[in-house]
Amino acid sequence: MNIASVKLVYFSPTGTTKAVVQGIARGINHSTVELIDITLPDARKEPLKASEDELLVVAVPVYMGRVPALVMEWLQALQAHHTPAVCVVVYGNRVYDDALLELTNTVMEHGCLPVAGAAYIGEHSFSNAETPTAQGRPDEDDLRHAEMFGRTIREKLQSASSASRLSGVQVPGEYPYRGDPTLWTVDFIAVSDACSHCGVCAAVCPVGAIDADDCTVIDQERCITCCACIRKCPENARTMKPGLVKDASKRLHTLYQERKDPEYFV
Ligand SMILES: Cc1cc2nc3c(=O)[nH]c(=O)nc-3n(C[C@H](O)[C@H](O)[C@H](O)COP(=O)(O)O)c2cc1C
């Protein structure tokens, strides 16, 4: 079938999901590609519309084995019309549980025809120099895999005469979805004297939880513990305080050292 354009939608506070999506895009190799980054609050004000002759790729990180709640909320306004869709989850080498199934079911409920799905590994948001988990992922091998997956998607689309002739995809997972997607409300970020008050942390926060005038002030009710502010601080002034998140970082480092590999489903 002829695809007029490809819409690649991603939520990616620390950039690993974005890197995977870009790899997939290279493999799809379509002349008209629109990258739709929904990481920042303003970008989630507009609902997404997609038609039958477009391909929609939706990629999210796994939070607590699930699709991040704020992405789920945004997806409720998705308006698709028999749009072929590819769902991608990126997880920190622990588990992705039912996130891929949840994402696939959700886009289907809003008019998409899921034709492929994949799970990739990205450096864990809680990873740091002392307790790294999945450090450097996605790496070259992962990105090569993502390109190959993109080519597979393109071949599947080319093999059908129309969207209605495409076979649907089965992805792993259970329904009712396991786990509790509720995030921790926790005071876990320490800001050192190295902070130059440049405002980068406030600008990259996906939920506007950091006060732009005083970046030591964090709205803990809003914070989703994504760690974008820690990763993107140009002065490395933001670190984890001892407590729940730092302990989780240590635990993940100890328990999930064994390399997991990407998986795809078509
Ligand atoms: C609140 C939170 C919960 C997470 N839960 C999981 C999880 O259940 N399983 C897992 O393997 N990784 C988990 N991660 C790690 C992220 O899925 C992973 O690091 C991902 O690559 C981050 O994507 P990004 O770089 O696009 O932000 C979690 C991260 C955060 C911040």
Q: How far, in Å, from the CA of 14 to the mean position of ligand 1?
A: 9
How do residues 25-68 score in pLDDT, each as one tens digit? 999 999 999 999 999 999 999 999 999 999 999 999 999 999 99
Structural contact between residues 23 and 142, judged by C-beta atoms closer than 8 angstroms: yes
| Pocket lining: 91 vs ligand 1, CB cutoff 6 Å | yes
Report the pLDDT averaged over residues 202-223.
97
Cβ(65) – ligand 1 distance below 6 Å: yes
Atom in ligand 1 nearest the alpha carbon of residue 226: 31
Can you tell me which residue has the tokens 């891929």?
A: 100
DSSP tally for the chain: helices H, then strands E: 7, 10
Distance CA 21, CA 27 (A): 10
Q: Does the Cβ of 225 fall within 6 Å of ligand 1?
A: yes
| Distance of CA 80 from the midpoint of ligand 1 (Å) | 27
SS3 assignment, position 60: strand
Which domains are delineated in the chain? 5-177+259-265 (3.40.50.360), 189-242 (3.30.70.20)
User: What does each C-alpha distance from 54 to 112, 115, 243 come to in angstroms?
Assistant: 10, 13, 46
**Mean pLDDT score across all residues of the chain:** 97
pLDDT tens string 96-144: 999 999 999 999 999 999 999 999 999 999 999 999 999 999 999 999 9
Distance CA 163, CA 55 (A): 10
Element (H, E) at 189: strand 189-191
* ipTM given for this complex: 1.00
**At residue 163, does pLDDT exceed 90?**
no
